Amino acid sequence: MITQKTKYALKSLMVLADEKTGDGAALRIEEIAERSGAPKRFLEHILLDLKRAGLIGSRRGRKGGYELIKDPRRVSLAEILRLIDGPMAPLPCLSRRAYQRCDDCTDEVSCRVRAVFGGFYSAYILMIESLTLADLMEDSRPLERFALPGFAAGE
């Protein structure tokens, strides 16, 4: 499950991407907060994280604010999830970027828990790594192409 912080980050990036396709003006934090529904105080921290990661930039002055500096087709949803929430793997021994051996594990090769969750995680990571901010912008239901038969959102 993604956190509320990640949802605010995604919504803020969509607001900035919308502006990038328009007149390209930088947006003040108050405007981003209003359009995204994110609380301003919370958004300040999120925008700083996104800026440090090189996804957005800021301008000072009267026409200052934040702007998306990366092409939405080059902003991976997985990159945003990792940036805001940290590793995505359900077990530390499955993480590619933050691998840690499980404290209670004596043999990863024969671990049944790792095997089951590893299969699920492989499918999930392939899907999420293929999605970008542009997908989020273009399609109100970008995950339908990955939907499993008989599965409905919210179940």
- pTM of the complete model beyond 0.85: no
Residue 129 pLDDT > 70: yes
- Give mean pLDDT, residues 87-92: 88
Residue 131 pLDDT > 70: yes
Phi first, then psi: what are they for 144, rounded to 5°?
A: -60, -30
Q: What is the largest CA-CA distance in the chain?
A: 61
Q: Under a CB-based contact definition with an 8 Å cutoff, are residues 103 and 113 in contact?
A: no
Question: What is the pLDDT of the chain when averaged over all its residues?
Answer: 86
Provide the 8-state DSSP code for 13: H
Residue ranges, comma separated, of all CATH 1.10.10.10 domains in the chain are: 4-68
Q: Under a CB-based contact definition with an 8 Å cutoff, are residues 8 and 36 in contact?
A: yes
Q: Under a CB-based contact definition with an 8 Å cutoff, are residues 55 and 68 in contact?
A: yes
Residue 21 is predicted with a pLDDT of 60
Reported as a single tens digit per residue, the pLDDT across 33-50 is 999 999 999 999 999 999
Residue 142 is predicted with a pLDDT of 47
* In this structure, CATH architecture of domain 4-68: Orthogonal Bundle (1.10)
